[in-house]
Amino acid sequence: MARDLERMLDGLRGYLADGSRLSGIVPLSTGHSNETYLLEGIDRILRMPPSEEGLLPPYDMALQHAVLAAMGSAAEGPPVPAVYELCSDPAVIGDAFFVMQRLDGEAFEYVTPAWLLGAPSSQPDAMCRQWIAAVTAVHRLPADCMPAATRSPVDEARHWLAVAEEAEAPAALLEVLHGLVGAPPRSSGPVTPVHGDPKHGNCLWARDGRLLALLDWEMAGIGEPMTDLGYIAHFYDQGEAKLATAGYELPGWWSKAQVVDAWERATGRQAVDLMRYEALAVAKIAAIIALGYHLFASGRTRDPRFEAWAAVIPGYVDMAVRFAAA
């Protein structure tokens, strides 16, 4: 983390209406994507772009603020944190930022928390029900309530192909993405709002299993809701990898078939070409990981996490090839 916290604290004290109450800033997540800080004293969360070159530019804080505000104001929308101040002036603390509600919960994706390990099977079942209900709530909203760009499955494939090419990704990944550009998966119907990264790891939970919020909307937009379903479904088809699937091993956690059935019933759509949407999701992840390693290898970032990603690129590429061939 390359930021000067004292400078940030001084800037926020002068900018925020209740800035005089600020007692400290605690980094929660920093480095390769949107950075998150706890504002002690006012008990709120600050979001801003990465302090070094990141994976998902451009980091449009105004757009992210607008997306959260739109989802939060939708009567039938998903649970999200409330948003407060938006600052577009980088002179205040070094970058544009916004402030949002702090919710007292926990997210997990790699390690199943102890409070869930000891829960009855009814709790994982209820958590999956809430998670998929939140995602399908997004897909049932009118497209024009999402203040972001529209991207078709072909647009998605073209975008991640460009990212993979910039990253000098393996030829097999480029071949998968070229194939998805040339023969994209079918549409399930009219476009809707989409989250873009609706994994269970972006859910914030109370320890009794209540879903407090669906987080991390930086890839949200308008598009084919099957891209979200394919992203969720690929976690069930990873084989031996079991990457970011903490909780899936528990009695009561939903199967892929249950997720797909709940999605179809909630949206009134058919899950068409699901494996091709899974291929698109995994190719997207592989392109992002390849870019991270490329940024490190080319000296554009010093983040050691990016160096470690070299080891997982082959597994994701193999998965993308397997899904695309299914």
What is the domain-level CATH number for residue 64?
A: 3.30.200.20
Q: Which of 9, 15, 57 is nearest to 292 (CA)?
A: 57
Alpha-helical (H) ranges within 141-273 are 153-166, 171-182, 226-233, 256-267
Length of the chain: 326
pLDDT at residue 306 is higher than 60: yes
How does pLDDT run across 96-140, given as a tens digit for each residue?
Answer: 999 999 999 999 999 999 999 989 999 999 999 999 999 999 999
How does pLDDT run across 45-104, given as a tens digit for each residue?
Answer: 999 998 876 777 788 999 999 999 999 999 999 999 999 999 999 999 999 999 999 999
Residue type, 103: L
Question: 133 and 222 share a domain?
Answer: yes
Asked, for residue 109, whether it belongs to a domain, the answer is: no
Contacts of 318 (CB under 8 A, 6+ apart): 172
pLDDT at residue 260 is higher than 90: yes
Contacts of 170 (CB under 8 A, 6+ apart): 290, 313, 314, 317
Determine phi and psi for 258, rounding to 5 degrees.
-65, -40
What pLDDT shows up at residue 302? Answer: 80
What pLDDT shows up at residue 162? Answer: 97
Asked, for residue 270, whether it belongs to a domain, the answer is: yes
Distance of alpha carbon 90 from alpha carbon 93, whole angstroms = 6
Asked, for residue 150, whether it belongs to a domain, the answer is: yes
Distance of alpha carbon 200 from alpha carbon 175, whole angstroms = 29
What is the pLDDT averaged over residues 274-303?
94
CATH number, domain containing residue 267: 3.90.1200.10
Instruction: Give the H or E element holding residue 150.
Output: strand 150-151
At residue 82, the 3 state secondary structure works out as coil
What pLDDT shows up at residue 1? Answer: 58
More confident call, 82 vs 307: 82
Q: What is the pLDDT confidence band of residue 233, given thresholds at 50, 70 and 90?
A: very high
Three state DSSP letters for 284-302: HHHHHHHHHHHHHHCCCCC
* Span of 31-40, 122-131, 289-298 with lowest mean pLDDT: 31-40
Domain that includes residue 120, residue range: 114-325
Question: 264 and 191 share a domain?
Answer: yes
Asked, for residue 19, whether it belongs to a domain, the answer is: yes
Question: 321 and 196 share a domain?
Answer: yes
Domain end call among 80, 101, 122: 101
Q: What is the DSSP string of 222-243?
A: EE-THHHHHHHHGGGG-TT--T
Question: 95 and 119 share a domain?
Answer: no
Residue type, 206: A
What pLDDT shows up at residue 15? Answer: 97
What pLDDT shows up at residue 59? Answer: 86
How buried is 143 (Cβ within 10 angstroms: 0-12 exposed, 13-18 middle, 19+ buried)? middle
Q: What is the pLDDT confidence band of residue 304, given thresholds at 50, 70 and 90?
A: confident
Percent of the chain with pLDDT over 90: 89
Distance of alpha carbon 274 from alpha carbon 192, whole angstroms = 17
- Domain count for the chain, please give it: 2
Question: 97 and 126 share a domain?
Answer: no
Asked, for residue 106, whether it belongs to a domain, the answer is: no
Question: 168 and 44 share a domain?
Answer: no
Question: 45 and 179 share a domain?
Answer: no
What is the pLDDT averaged over residues 137-149?
97
Contacts of 114 (CB under 8 A, 6+ apart): none
Task: Give the CA dihedral 32, 201, 279, 260, nearest 10 degrees.
Answer: -160
How does pLDDT run across 149-186, given as a tens digit for each residue?
Answer: 999 999 999 999 999 999 999 999 999 999 999 999 99
Domain end call among 101, 136, 167: 101
DSSP code of residue 311: G
What pLDDT shows up at residue 32? Answer: 62
pLDDT at residue 31 is higher than 60: no
What pLDDT shows up at residue 114? Answer: 96
Alpha-helical (H) ranges within the chain are 5-15, 61-73, 114-117, 122-140, 153-166, 171-182, 226-233, 256-267, 274-297, 304-308, 313-325
Question: 13 and 158 share a domain?
Answer: no
